Structures are given as C-alpha cells and as structure tokens.
C-alpha cells in the first residue's frame, strides 16, 4: 500500500505551481519523503513542489500532476534533479515512490535511535540521495516516537475515563468530567495530525 493516495482531480494547469492547493491536500500537509508536517516545519512556506521525475530528464512531465509531490524544502533540494541511470534501475537502485509504495515499511526501517536503515536497494538509494538520516530528521523521529508513546498512554486514560463516566450516572461533580474528556480526545487527535501519527 502507498503512503499517499491521490484523491484530487485537478484540471490540467500549464503552471505546475498552481497545483499546490491540490498537492497539499493529497499529501495531507506532509512531506512526501521525510513525513514531517507543515505544523512541525512552521507552515506551508517551508514546502515546495518536487518533480518526482526531474524536469531536466523528463521535461514533458513538468506540469503533469502525478509527477508532482509535496515536499519540504530540504528534501526537495537534496533530491534535486537526481535520477538513477538505467543500469542502476536494473539493479534495483531507484527512488522509492511514496505514491505507489510505503517506503517506510517496504524499503526502510527506523532504528531505536531514530536513524533509518535500508531494507532494499531502493531504500538505500532513496535514503542516501534525499539524506533521510540528516541530524534534524533523526531528532524529529526520536521526538515523534516519544509523542506516539505518550499518545498511547493518553488514549488508555481516555478509555478508562469514558468507562468510569458511563458507570456513573446522574448529575453532580462527575458531569464536569465530560468536557475534560472531550478536550483530551481533541488534543490527542490534533497531535496525531500534527505529527503524522
């Protein structure tokens, strides 16, 4: 299964930059390569439009929507106009395509320290050329792992509180717990979206 599924069907636009709003939604406001969100990177101005198949080698795909990926500026610049030779592709060294596969489950695995280890030649090529083991990405993965762990604990608390509220009936002091429970559920949902969890 792919990391990103395209749901948008924009009309053909000659200027590929006009696809930006569609791409933001299709990529769920997340970098196609490092998976950091707009929230984490300080907003959409930290994002660019990547040509998965570079314009230098594939000029006919410059404004082809399915060749455009929403990418943070760092990943886009590292990937640049790099594209593997036919020989490398024949040996399995190519960019993992997040719109066709889940590169984080098929080609890469995250280690305990937040670094990525290649499982395949495609994972090795992708990780090396986009520099997915940059120190800022390793630190972000460590933080995201801690947040994911905390969210599991918070979700268990929400479940317990929900059960306790159902067991109690009537009015009184326990009724003020319902809005608190809703606030906690909303915060959990927001953090899941902000950290792409």
Query: Where along the chain do its domains lie?
Result: 16-133, 138-194
Would you say 81 and 100 are in contact if contact means Cβ atoms under 8 Å apart? no
Residue-wise pLDDT for 39-69, tens only, equals: 999 999 999 999 999 999 999 999 999 999 9
Percent of the chain at pLDDT > 70 equals 96
Q: What pLDDT band is residue 169 in, cutting at 50, 70 and 90?
A: low
H or E element, residue 48: strand 47-51
Q: What pLDDT band is residue 172 in, cutting at 50, 70 and 90?
A: low
pLDDT of residue 171: 52
- Rounded Cα–Cα distance for residues 10 and 151 (Å): 36
Q: What is the DSSP letter of 12?
A: P
**Mean pLDDT of the 95-122 span:** 96
pTM of the model: 0.86
Residues forming beta bridges with residue 48, ordered by sequence position: 71
DSSP strands (E only) in 58-172:
68-72, 108-110, 116-118
pLDDT of residue 78: 97
């Amino acid at each position: 299964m792919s990391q990103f599924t395209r749901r948008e069907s924009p009309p053909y636009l000659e200027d590929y930059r006009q696809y930006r709003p569609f791409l933001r939604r299709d990529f769920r406001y997340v970098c196609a390569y490092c998976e950091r969100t707009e929230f984490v990177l300080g907003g959409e101005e930290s994002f660019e439009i990547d040509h998965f198949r570079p314009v230098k080698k594939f000029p006919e795909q410059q404004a082809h929507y399915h060749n455009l990926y929403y990418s943070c500026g760092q990943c886009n610049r590292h990937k640049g106009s790099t594209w593997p030779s036919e020989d490398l592709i024949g040996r399995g060294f190519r960019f993992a395509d997040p719109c066709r596969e889940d590169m984080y489950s098929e080609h890469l695995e995250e280690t305990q320290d937040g670094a990525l280890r290649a499982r395949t030649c495609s994972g090795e090529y992708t990780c090396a050329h986009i520099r997915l083991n940059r120190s800022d990405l390793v630190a972000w993965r460590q933080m995201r792992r801690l947040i994911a762990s905390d969210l599991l604990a918070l979700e268990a608390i929400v479940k317990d509180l929900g059960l306790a509220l159902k067991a109690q009936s009537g009015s009184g002091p326990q009724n003020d717990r319902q809005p608190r429970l809703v606030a906690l559920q909303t915060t959990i949902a927001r953090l899941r979206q902000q950290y792409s969890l």
